[in-house]
């Protein structure tokens, strides 16, 4: 993945802090120019190409989750007037949704979520005794 330094904030005539970002470009065959681009600030975190693509394409899954939260679990049906009640309602809806998703993952072999943990850093070499 190429590392780039994007020119964020140059219209303000200031010199913002430059941060290295990873660039992912989707350019389907037969198209004259790229159709989609993603920038990610990963820092020193190693991330393979396939995992980066899955994360970039996760927006569809997030939109589906939001639709299910609103439609099936009635996230948008809170009619109270206080923040504490709204917060309580959203916590309960979110916990119910998490439970349903974990049950679905437990019963399904090829779940969309990435179960792989982040790679651990290499062990430091030991001195010979």
Q: Which residues of the chain are modeled with pLDDT < 50?
A: none
| pLDDT tens profile 85-94 | 888 888 999 8
DSSP string, 8-42: TTGGGTS-PPP--EEEEEE--TT-SS-SEEEEE--
| pLDDT tens profile 17-41 | 777 788 888 889 999 998 888 888 8
Q: Residue 128: its pLDDT value, please?
A: 62
What is the pTM assigned to this prediction?
A: 0.47
For the chain, how many structural domains are there in total? 2
- Residue 129 within a domain: no
Pair (51, 89) in one structural domain: no
Q: Residue 78: give the domain boundaries.
A: 59-108
- Residue 127 within a domain: no
Pair (43, 80) in one structural domain: no
- Residue 13 within a domain: yes
Q: Residue 101: its pLDDT value, please?
A: 84
Pair (4, 49) in one structural domain: yes
Q: Residue 53: its pLDDT value, please?
A: 85
- Shortest CA distance to 64 belongs to which of 26, 114, 108, 101? 101
CA–CA gap between residue 7 and residue 62 (Å, rounded):
28
């Amino acid at each position: 993945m190429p590392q780039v330094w994007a020119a964020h904030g140059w219209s303000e005539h200031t010199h913002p802090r430059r941060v290295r970002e990873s660039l992912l470009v989707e350019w389907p065959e037969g198209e004259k120019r790229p159709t989609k681009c993603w920038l990610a600030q990963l820092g020193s975190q190693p991330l393979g190409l396939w995992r980066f693509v899955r994360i970039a394409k996760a927006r569809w899954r997030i939109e589906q989750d939001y639709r299910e939260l609103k439609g099936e679990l009635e996230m948008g049906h809170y009619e109270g007037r206080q923040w504490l009640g709204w917060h309580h309602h959203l916590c309960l809806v979110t916990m119910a949704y998490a439970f349903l998703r974990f049950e679905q993952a437990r019963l399904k072999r090829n779940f969309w979520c990435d179960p792989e943990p982040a790679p651990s850093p290499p062990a430091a070499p030991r001195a010979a005794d």
